[in-house]
Structure 1
Amino acid sequence: MHENCIVVHAGAGYHSKHKETEYIQLCSDACLRAAAILTQDNSKFRSINAACEAVAFLEDNHLSNAGYGSNLTLDGSVECDAGVMCGSCLRFAAVGSLSCIKNPILVAGHLLSQQIMDPFSRLGRVFPSLLVGKGALDYAVNAAGFSRIQEVEMISPSSLASWKKYKNWIDHVDKDTCHSMSLHHVSSKKARFMTPLDTVGAVCVDSFGRVASAISSGGVAMKSPGRLGQACIYSAGSWAECSPEEDGKVTESVGVITSGTGEQLIRTQLAQKCAQRVINDTLPVPLAVEASLSTDFLNSRFLNGEPDQRFAGVAGCLWRSLPFVRKRRSSEACVEIFFGHTTQSMAVAYFVDNTMKIPKSFISRKPLGRRHLVGAFSHRLLSC
């Protein structure tokens, strides 16, 4: 067994410098919440539970665009998306356009655990991997036992104030174009503030190298009701994958979580493509991430005809066991934490249990003129 590893992000977009300390502390605390689960939970779902716990913690904070404080739709309602993936069995579960549930990610986590334990329901019906709207709410309350809350309880004072401000801007736009396209008719400065992309996510690797990824989002500000973002779409918002186990051991695993413009991330399937480059490429991890952002996103043919503004952020880790050397008398592993973004900034934190005393948490800011920014950290892990 090796040390546990956690990576979290609080979104790629624009993070106010006035709130930088708050974002840094929030991400650090989320890492510690996940670390506690990985240490105390002895179940086979511990990496899933830890990732969901970290994201649920982020959902509860008004700084994030997930759960409480989510961006509001054009009509002023709350609709959340969340998804979680298990790297060991490669199963994925998600909810979309969900309201009146405090922590959407926990519903997705419950859906995933049911899918793993009992992939077929009665009469052989396939267990769902994605539920949306009323179906997701009914499942959360009636099947999973979550409490239904009033929608107003999910609206923070700041999200309501932002909605009123954005609505006023849009109301001054030509009524014939006042739908989701309205963002293209406001000034670029206003558009920057109308599109906070602070989706939140977590990747957790347990002491056996088993990985899970989880992600949650309230979606883009002033979105059309019913719109789904990348958080609930397979291979677009998150990815987790382990090598087939040999003698009960994982030799390598990778987890990726994304943030950015949902429609662009869906069309490029960025989470899976980034993960595959990182785990399969002969390039060093930072160069593999850079290649993914450049080739799979910024220059992707699937975004032909899109505006020049292409927003994406990725974060995650690559875990690999190292060849056994008898003279060391212990097995070793290496974990490489990475992040990259095309947006102005990205909030990231990571923690390697027993190797670090406290999480490393920071706001990465892209210099002017750069198309993207990539960073990585490497840690060698001794067996516990």
Structure 2
Amino acid sequence: MTLKSLTILAGAGLFLAACATPVEPEPVAAPKWHLAIHGGAGVILRENMTPEEEAAYTAGLNAALEAGAAVLREGGSAVDAVQAAVIPMENNPLFNAGYGAVFAANGTHELDASIMDGRDRDAGAVAGVMRVKNPILAARAVMDKSEHVMFAGPGADAFADGQGLEMVVNTYFDTDRRREALDRLLEAREAKPLAALRSDEERFGTVGAVAIDSEGNLAAATTTGGMTAKAPGRVGDAPLIGAATYAENGVCAVSATGHGEYFIRVGVAKTICDRVKFRDERVGTAAGVALGEVAALGGDGGVIVIDGAGNVDFVFNSAGMYRGEISPSGSSTAIFRDPPAGDE
């Protein structure tokens, strides 16, 4: 082939390239945001709850869902959304977190909380706080404003105060309902073993949230008042990253509620995410395995889980769990084991 022929062919190629219609790459669909919450698990039976009580719990769950969804609808981050979702439950005396938290055996309140951002697995937690109004805000401050992951006891309260968070006297958290539960349990302790005395309402009540935002970022948050008549200084699973709370982008986010000592021993939240990450299990399947380990040790409770594609599942081995979810497609809440009837 001559140099002239090569020149002609090259020119033709340039002409065809110039005349060809460029192929536009297919747009990558943005993930739909999705938020799920829980308000505690246990023996929650319809026959033990009045219609008025059920309506009050449902209203509380819906308020929490809407608070988190308001962030996500505006393109906000998953970590801001889970924080926003749990604050209404910390302020609602129906739930065992913040105002309305259970009493420790000495008649005080010691509260725990944790939060985790799936983007970089940054996390913050507080344990045994007694004066910060919203413990989840203290956990967030630890994550954002310190080099540490957890503060505990008076140091945690002092840190929160130094960050300008709203502080209260410990009696702010008091409610008659929780005081009656403490008195009943302390009175009965002398005659019966401790494990046989606590009702599920007195053992459980942790609240939490998991979310995915429109950028595909995951986050989780968990907050609690612990167990009724717990020993002062006792710390459960709620503030422990990997036990009750975990989030990793592209894998999963988890918030747990249940008998904390067992959830700590199993490392429930991290176990679930590791099974999703390394065994390619669905989040619901992985959660079932982790809760099976909890049950084998003698514990019970539940988890809310969301994967990197925004799929949500609720898994619990108790009779009920206060729970709900919301996305652009709608919302639903449920309390008892029977599934929700549909979007509300």
Q: TM-score range by the shorter chain?
A: 0.7 to 0.9
Task: Kindly indicate whether the alpha-carbon contact (under 8 Å) linking 1:209 and 1:253 is maintained by their aligned counterparts in 2.
Answer: no
Shift, 1:193, TM fit: 5.0
Residue of structure 2 equivalent to 1:183: 194
Task: Kindly indicate whether the alpha-carbon contact (under 8 Å) linking 2:75 and 2:214 is maintained by their aligned counterparts in 1.
Answer: no
SS in 1 for 2:199: helix
**CA 1:65–1:194: 2 relative to 1, 3 Å:** closer
The C-alpha deviation readout for 1:196-231, integer Å capped at 9, x for no partner, is 301000012110110110000100110000111111
Q: Equivalent of 2:73, from 18, 26, 39?
A: 39
Q: Equivalent of 2:286, from 285, 288, 301?
A: 288
SS in 2 for 1:153: helix
SS in 1 for 2:142: helix
Shift, 1:50, TM fit: 1.2
Q: How does 1:4-83 map to 2 (within 5 A)?
A: 4-15=33-44, 16-18=48-50, 19-40=53-74, 42=76, 46-83=77-114
Task: Kindly indicate whether the alpha-carbon contact (under 8 Å) linking 2:111 and 2:127 is maintained by their aligned counterparts in 1.
Answer: yes
Residue of structure 2 equivalent to 1:85: 116
1:259 corresponds to 2:270: no
Q: Under a length normalisation based on structure 2, what TM-score does the superposition of the two structures give?
A: 0.83
Report the Cα distance in structure 2 between the residues aligned to 1:56 and 1:285, rounded to whole angstroms. 26
Report the Cα distance in structure 2 between the residues aligned to 1:191 and 1:96, rounded to whole angstroms. 22
Residue of structure 2 equivalent to 1:361: 333
Question: How many pairs does the alignment contain?
Answer: 306
Unaligned runs of 5+ residues in structure 1 are: 116-126, 175-181, 243-251, 321-334, 367-374, 377-384
1:104 corresponds to 2:131: no
1:136 corresponds to 2:156: yes
Shift, 1:349, TM fit: 0.4
Q: How does 1:1-384 map to 2 (within 5 A)?
A: 1-15=30-44, 16-18=48-50, 19-40=53-74, 42=76, 46-115=77-146, 127-142=147-162, 144-170=163-189, 172-173=190-191, 182-184=193-195, 188=196, 190-192=197-199, 195-242=202-249, 252-294=250-292, 296-299=293-296, 303=297, 308=298, 310-320=299-309, 335-353=310-328, 355-356=329-330, 359-365=331-337
> Kindly, what percent of the aligned residue pairs are identical?
26
**CA 1:210–1:193: 2 relative to 1, 3 Å:** closer
Report the Cα distance in structure 2 between the residues aligned to 1:103 and 1:114, rounded to whole angstroms. 16
Report the Cα distance in structure 1 between the residues aligned to 2:324 and 2:230, rounded to whole angstroms. 28
The one-letter amino acid paired with 2:156 is A
SS in 2 for 1:230: coil
Report the Cα distance in structure 2 between the residues aligned to 1:288 and 1:214, rounded to whole angstroms. 19
The one-letter amino acid paired with 1:277 is R
Task: Kindly indicate whether the alpha-carbon contact (under 8 Å) linking 1:278 and 1:289 is maintained by their aligned counterparts in 2.
Answer: no
Task: Kindly indicate whether the alpha-carbon contact (under 8 Å) linking 1:55 and 1:200 is maintained by their aligned counterparts in 2.
Answer: yes
Report the Cα distance in structure 1 between the residues aligned to 2:62 and 2:308, rounded to whole angstroms. 21
Report the Cα distance in structure 2 between the residues aligned to 1:94 and 1:193, rounded to whole angstroms. 25
Shift, 1:282, TM fit: 4.1
The one-letter amino acid paired with 1:166 is L
The C-alpha deviation readout for 1:130-187, integer Å capped at 9, x for no partner, is 1011000100112x101221111111121112112222222x438xxxxxxx513xxx
Q: Structure 1 stretch 269-278 or stretch 12-21: which is displaced more?
A: 12-21
Shift, 1:338, TM fit: 0.5
SS in 2 for 1:26: helix
Report the Cα distance in structure 2 between the residues aligned to 1:51 and 1:33, rounded to whole angstroms. 9
The C-alpha deviation readout for 1:224-257, integer Å capped at 9, x for no partner, is 0011111111200111001xxxxxxxxx341111
The C-alpha deviation readout for 1:298-354, integer Å capped at 9, x for no partner, is 23xxx4xxxx4x11211121132xxxxxxxxxxxxxx3211111222111100112x
The C-alpha deviation readout for 1:87-140, integer Å capped at 9, x for no partner, is 11112110000012110001101211224xxxxxxxxxxx22110110001001
Report the Cα distance in structure 2 between the residues aligned to 1:285 and 1:225, rounded to whole angstroms. 35
Report the Cα distance in structure 1 between the residues aligned to 2:55 and 2:231, rounded to whole angstroms. 32
The one-letter amino acid paired with 2:159 is Y
Report the Cα distance in structure 2 between the residues aligned to 1:297 and 1:155, rounded to whole angstroms. 31
Is the radius of gyration larger for structure 1 or structure 2?
2
Report the Cα distance in structure 2 between the residues aligned to 1:61 and 1:338, rounded to whole angstroms. 25
**CA 1:194–1:352: 2 relative to 1, 3 Å:** closer
**CA 1:31–1:363: 2 relative to 1, 3 Å:** same
Report the Cα distance in structure 2 between the residues aligned to 1:364 and 1:106, rounded to whole angstroms. 30
SS in 2 for 1:317: strand
The one-letter amino acid paired with 2:178 is S
Shift, 1:279, TM fit: 4.3
